[in-house]
Amino acid sequence: MSAFSSGLEIGLGRLRFAVGGGYLGKSGSPKMYILKDVRHKVPYVKKKGLPSHYVTSAVSYTIGSFSATVAYFMSRLTHIPPATTVSHKIPWEHELDSVVDGENTLKDLVVGVGYNLFSKGSTSLEVFLNCHMFSVQHKFNIHKYKSSGFVLKEGEERANTNNGAVALLGMKFAF
């Protein structure tokens, strides 16, 4: 696994800004799958477009014990999952008929407020409420190939999207 990330945070009085990003390489891409108790290598197809990566940014403002934060996170994982169909010409022979490639994209917008209940040195106790509004999109292409010669044929593109929101109320103890 080869991946790297970096970020930057700047504080200007009561205002703080942060940005970050990273290259995820092949992180999260399956290498093997199991079919009928037999381990198989994933047949890879070359994925076009951007490699797997993430970016994030945030801004926060603090007045006394109160703080407010807005943050955005976006992650894109390009992947080559295992074959989706199996031919059953002979019951004990499992020849792969198709493979899929695609990408998963997560977008998350967070609006949060917090109140610092206790602070001494580097130790603090804070109550917070964060509201996450997110969108997850899964796009994929199905490719057909013949085992003799490994000839790929472009398939159809499909996509599905799930959106939602979740509120988190909690306490954070930092030391």
pLDDT at residue 104 is higher than 90: no
> Quick one: pLDDT at residue 132?
97
DSSP class of residue 110 equals E
pLDDT band at 18 (very low <50, low <70, confident <90, very high): very high
The number of distinct structural domains making up the chain is 1
* Owner of token pair 């499909």: 158
* The predicted structure's pLDDT at residue 22: 93
**Alpha carbons 79 and 46: distance in angstroms, whole number:** 10
Closest by CA to 137, choosing from 69, 86, 76, 73, is 76
pLDDT (mean) for 129-148:
77
Average pLDDT over residues 5-31: 87
Between 163 and 157, the more confident residue is 163
Residue 88 has pLDDT above 50, yes or no: no
Cβ neighbours of residue 140 closer than 8 Å, sequence gap 6 or more: 81, 100, 101, 102, 103, 157, 158, 159
pLDDT value for 41:
60
Q: What is the mean pLDDT of the chain?
A: 78
Secondary structure of 131-171 in HEC code, one letter for each residue: EEEEEEEEEEEEEEEECCCCEEECCCEEEEEEEEEEEEEEE
Strands 66-79 and 52-63: antiparallel
pLDDT value, residue 91: 41
Domain ranges, residue 17: 4-174
Q: What is the pLDDT of residue 83?
A: 45
> Phi/psi zone of residue 150: left (φ > 0), alpha (ψ -120 to 50 degrees), beta?
left
